[in-house]
Amino acid sequence: MSQIEKDVAWGKKKEALVYPLLQSKFPDVKQTEDEFDCFDFRDNVNGIDFELKSRNIPKGKYQTIFFGNNKLLEGRRRRESGYSKRTIYLFRFQNRADRSKNVIYFWEDDGRKVPTKMCGNFKRGEEAQLLVDLPILWLRPFRELVLCNNNDNSTESGVGDNNSRIQ
């Protein structure tokens, strides 16, 4: 089995662990059936796409976290076309206090310009590609993620502007 196949299998295991937690907040969410779909989960009732990125590092080990710019562009395309209303990226990290446990954070794309960088996982033999270089300070704890809009000064996710946390 190639390293990429191992990484995909590892990611599928993490999706299975996160799915019940996601369903507790979004009862209509389902795992996407097409393995080539840009997103791991979809709530068709509420028009929400979810992408899970699992990392074997504690949150904050690096100042930024990478994910494929293709996912950002596809999420924005889906919202612009009216297919989706929201795009939420979930990040699963190791717990700092107990590395056998994990913590989940999220970032909801609000359409603002995001930093990008040409990079790649060269250990897996990838060529450099354009990646979103998301500042860790933009991430919010999963417990703050809600289904509906609170009709206040919050974003649709029910929390304040994720990008305002940048120093």
Decide if 149 contacts 85 (C-beta within 8 A).
no
Angle at CA of residue 134, ends 128 and 140, nearest 5°? 150
**Intra-chain end-to-end CA distance of the chain, in Å:** 43
Does the pLDDT value for residue 21 go beyond 70? yes
d(C-alpha 66, C-alpha 132), whole Å: 5
Q: Which fold has domain 3-152?
A: Trna Endonuclease; Chain: A, domain 1 (3.40.1350)
Helix (H) or strand (E) holding 55: strand 48-58
Segment 85-126, tens digit of pLDDT: 999 999 999 887 887 788 999 999 999 999 999 987 777 677
Residue 3's pLDDT is 66
Q: Where are the domains of the chain?
A: 3-152
